[in-house]
Structure 1
Amino acid sequence: MATLAVDAGRAVSLADLVDELWGATPPDNVLNALQAHAARARKVINERACPERAGGILRSVLGGYLLEIDPQCVDGNRFLRLVSQGASVLPADPARAVELLEAGLRLWRGPALIDAGEGRRCRGAAALFEERRLTALEDLASALFLLGGEARAIAMLQQLVAQHPLRERFCELLMVGLYRVGRQGDALESYHLARKRLDEELGVQPGALLRRRHAEILAQDPVLKVPSTLRREPYPQADSSLLTA
């Protein structure tokens, strides 16, 4: 079901479904096994999701199966659309950006596709969702700073830095936020902690942007107060095609 849902509205071939479910070790009579899976999935859909369209959502087509629904009925696609829209309006309308980003993030109920097995298509989609979730959190922090919500943004970023210590963008935003509220020492300490973690875990130095922010804070550069300092290039508008790109 997850494999069909990430391609909602498009047929998935039998070969792709077999590869997703069983990889290199398909069972004997694999087509019969696949038909049995489809029958069970169709029964669940008919009983729980959409009884008024009995048998009409999960359809067998020539050479595959199709989940015949609007892609925007899939929460993953709605999430991608909302956070892409939030990113696109962030520079001009941070309040609207917060609304859209928070609406998208509320769709999460835990790790994406955690119970969908280890197939390549679902794992790839899960990786995409997780990356966009982290980027949406970065954008949300930026929007909060632009709206004067420094306390909330800093608290959120401190938690995110602890959870994702190697993601430099979180540290960069936290450094800028701390500096903007007069906590220059804390901003510098955040940099030193990030540098230590990167060295200990990966054997690398912080990236160019993080090093530049460190230098700007040391110099008390006025650029740190400029709203565009928090900006990044937004992702393009998302639709279901991103799940299989």
Structure 2
Amino acid sequence: MLAVLALRAGQTVYYNELADELWPGEFLKNPRNAIQAQATRIRKTIEGCIQRTEESAALRPVYNGYILDISRDAVDTNRFLDLTMRGNNDLALEPARALRSLRQGLQLWRGPALLNTRTGEQCRSAAAFLDERRMLANEDLMSAHLLLGDNRKAVAELQTLVAAYPSRERLCELLMLALYRTGRQAEAIHVFHRIRQRLDAELGVVPGRELARLYQKILIQDSSLDSATAVLSRPEVCSGV
């Protein structure tokens, strides 16, 4: 319940929405009483954590629902989205500043998005969105390292990310580029063949155009691979929740 209210901080969340999220597919004789009991527990928890007494009424009952009446930036998901969008916007012209914003945003994570809240549609959709934005932020962070010439650090971090997400083509692209820039052309080629085999075996598809183009450029040692353009050739991410 707190997750749903926090995702929509400052907005009314109605009883029927909360019931659908908390007990999807179930029939409760009196869901409003159950929700009110949860609200009491949440309010006590908030009052035990707050720094300012005027926030004691942060969870307010309104007609047919509740509002979590807090500022937008009091919610970690919003801070994460703002910081990583700022990093994405700064990436091309201010990679050092982008790296700082992306690091700050990613440091807000403590585990999977909305852990243990994914039974309802709102939390499940938000979690999928946030997990994808986390991946994009990691890709932007690795791009920032490459733009700053920190290729060896990028290799080390990308190897960990690719091991965790072996079918993520953008991560493999960045790892191939980082390996190539550190004089490890053969390893970069091996990364391509490894993901090509995995995509064929698991999904029956071939590598995407960008990955295949990068592979060809590595084979011929194309001079453009040392440019910023080689790092930035990717679609922009969307903003907002």
Query: Which amino acid is 2:58 matched to?
Result: I
Please name the residue that 1:66 is paired with: 67
2: CA distance, partners of 1:47 / 1:159: 39
TM-score, length-scaled by structure 1:
0.93
- Deviation readout 1:50-70 (Å, 9 max, x if unpaired): 561365100111121100001
Aligned residues: 239
2: CA distance, partners of 1:177 / 1:121: 38
TM-score, length-scaled by structure 2:
0.95
Query: Which amino acid is 1:159 matched to?
Result: T
Please name the residue that 1:235 is paired with: 237
Please name the residue that 1:76 is paired with: 77
2: CA distance, partners of 1:117 / 1:214: 39
Structure 1 residues 101-110 or 203-212, which shifts more? 203-212
1: CA distance, partners of 2:72 / 2:24: 26
2: CA distance, partners of 1:50 / 1:123: 31
Query: Which amino acid is 1:118 matched to?
Result: T
CA contact (8 A) 1:172 1:213 kept: yes
**Does residue 118 of structure 1 match 2:119?**
yes
Gaps of 5+ in 2: none
Please name the residue that 2:184 is paired with: 183
**Does residue 86 of structure 1 match 2:96?**
no
Please name the residue that 1:154 is paired with: 155
What secondary structure sits across from 1:170 in the alignment? helix
CA contact (8 A) 1:18 1:26 kept: no
Gaps of 5+ in 1: none
Please name the residue that 1:213 is paired with: 214
Please name the residue that 2:22 is paired with: 21
Does 1 or 2 have the higher relative contact order (CA < 8 Å, sep 6+)?
1
Query: Which amino acid is 2:237 matched to?
Result: Y
Residues 51-62 of structure 1 aligned to structure 2 (within 5 Å): 52-53=53-54, 55-62=56-63
Please name the residue that 1:35 is paired with: 36
* Cα drift, residue 111 of structure 1: 0.7
Query: Which amino acid is 1:234 matched to?
Result: E
CA contact (8 A) 2:199 2:205 kept: yes
Change (3 A) 1:34 1:26: farther
* Cα drift, residue 26 of structure 1: 3.2
Identity of aligned residues (%): 46
- Deviation readout 1:2-56 (Å, 9 max, x if unpaired): 0000111111111111100001103211111111111111121122335613651
What secondary structure sits across from 1:66 in the alignment? strand
Change (3 A) 1:179 1:22: same
2: CA distance, partners of 1:84 / 1:99: 12
What secondary structure sits across from 2:166 in the alignment? coil
2: CA distance, partners of 1:54 / 1:107: 23
Please name the residue that 2:47 is paired with: 46
Aligned-CA RMSD value: 1.4
* Cα drift, residue 168 of structure 1: 0.2
